[in-house]
Structure 1
């Protein structure tokens, strides 16, 4: 005869299991389990078997055990999990790649009918077309303001109709219609809400970022910091090169205006003298003067055998 464990014994066993998992794993996914059936959960456990463990339980029990474990070990980082335990959630402990585990969990979503009272997770649109229902069902569609016509003895929906909006509760008429049409609009499974890793908590969207995304975001941040530093004249490592260039521009501009001489300014004056003595002076246009490199665009109408000057874009000797 099998003796059933008492509630107290079950709590002790659960506490021991959760503490063991907290001790062994440093990566935890917090996943919502709304409308997930027991068979579906078993399939997810089998799919993750190897380097991951799925643990469900009452939020109050999990919070109590986490607090006890944090006090016992002195590792207060586990307390960051407590605010995440809201609603019907479970914990996925893993030693594998977090992104791969998240993708594996997402594979086990299953279609489900629209039941009365459920909050719609997505918009539900009934597509146009033949429903296969007999003309006696026309009044049913009229109640829901769905335009129909009779075609070859069956009811046909004329245009697509938004039957249920995201966030609205499913009514009895909507549920009955979707059941008649054989439409299972919703899909349910474990949905990762938060990621815990070595004491840090972040959104699961971070797992979808590629290396190129990170480089792009870093470059964008550096650009914003540089722009701010230049605007307020605050020296930073990113802004310093731009400040030097701007200072050089100003000094060269002053030297050109006042005939003041120093090596870098003399070089610029030489470039300008070359441009002035160009074989085709009417076609030589100075676009940008007071920078560390002066851009000279030489537009030529001459043939390929004619000799061009050193400021021709074919030379770019400077």
Structure 2
């Protein structure tokens, strides 16, 4: 008895769709998968309008997307690209773009739209109903507020919330009754939009946990690293294009200070050395008795006692000012470096 051959026939439209998806997958520098399950049609159209020209968004059946990805991976002998199919979830769609994965993720997040939360979903944060008038007239809604634990009363002919109230804590499931009350109050604690599932670029698959970065924190870390490197270069005397000027200024100031303190005269310091010696001589003379001083020295002490003190104070102020200027120059150099 001849064997009966059984062959599963694939609908022609599915074959055509897979071929269209394969063509699309081959066109993009970056290929990503996204979830559109929770995006209402109206909001999705708004998002499409915002991202038009930046990327191509193609929705299809998950099974067809998976088949297209695996066939492209097999044809290109690129098993890593084939792994992208492992991230297909819920209402998946393909995104093709020239944006790098980080910019793509940021763009999708920025274009999400505030929306009411659905009953049965997990609260992404503490959901707070704030104190104040609801603008609604007295009626059954007052009882609905109280039934979900929101203190309310009639004030000036309107229903008012008496105090800020956390109705659902982060991580808790939102009861359907609470969701209805929140929607009535116009509270939109969630953002709906295109959720990136994974993105592929140059042999690497990026997931949202990698792509989600705090830009301000990254910039601060880079600035801190630059400042630390700048300080190390100056203190360890490791010259670089950014620090050589500060290193030379520091070396000059140290050499000048050494020359003055050790009384080793140079063209730059001889005046300061003589001024310091003169001040020290007057200070010593002021400690001696009048019998040990001649008339010229007495007269000099008498006429310059006040001015000498002022000069000493002025010299100390100058030294302090130089130290401050030195610090300011270092800070300015660091700040200037951060601009490039």
TM-score, normalised by the number of residues in structure 1 = 0.61
Give CA-to-partner distance per residue, 1:251-270, whole Å, 9 cap, x none.
55544444556xxxx14423
Is 1:172 matched with 2:176? yes
Query: Against the structure 1 CA distance between its residues 119 and 275, is the aligned structure 2 distance closer, same or farther, given a 3 Å change threshold?
Result: farther
Structure 1: which 5+ runs fail to align?
1-5, 298-318
What aligned pairs does 1:31-42 form with structure 2 within 5 A after superposition? 31-38=34-41, 40-42=43-45
Give CA-to-partner distance per residue, 1:193-244, whole Å, 9 cap, x none.
76655556562658x78xxx96x7654432122335567x484635666555
Query: Against the structure 1 CA distance between its residues 172 and 14, is the aligned structure 2 distance closer, same or farther, given a 3 Å change threshold?
Result: same
Give CA-to-partner distance per residue, 1:31-82, whole Å, 9 cap, x none.
4434113454355445544553113456676566445434533567746856
Query: Against the structure 1 CA distance between its residues 150 and 44, is the aligned structure 2 distance closer, same or farther, given a 3 Å change threshold?
Result: closer
The total of aligned residue pairs comes to 279
More helix by share: 2
Is contact 1:193-1:203 (8 Å) kept?
no
Show the counterpart of 1:3.
none
Is contact 1:53-1:94 (8 Å) kept?
yes
Q: CA RMSD in A?
A: 4.9
What aligned pairs does 1:72-151 form with structure 2 within 5 A after superposition? 72-73=75-76, 78=81, 89-95=92-98, 106-107=110-111, 109=113, 111-112=115-116, 114-127=117-130, 128-130=132-134, 131-134=136-139, 140-151=144-155
Cα distance, 1:88 vs structure 2: 5.3
Structure 2 Cα separation of the partners of residues 31 and 141 of structure 1: 37
Give CA-to-partner distance per residue, 1:168-193, whole Å, 9 cap, x none.
21113312433554655544222457
Show the counterpart of 1:272.
272
SS in structure 2 at match of 1:167: coil
Structure 2 Cα separation of the partners of residues 194 and 23 of structure 1: 17
Cα distance, 1:92 vs structure 2: 2.4
Is contact 1:36-1:190 (8 Å) kept?
yes
Structure 2: which 5+ runs fail to align?
1-8, 280-303, 326-340
Q: Which one has a bigger Cα radius of gyration?
A: 2
Counterpart of 1:156 (choices 150, 155, 160) is 160
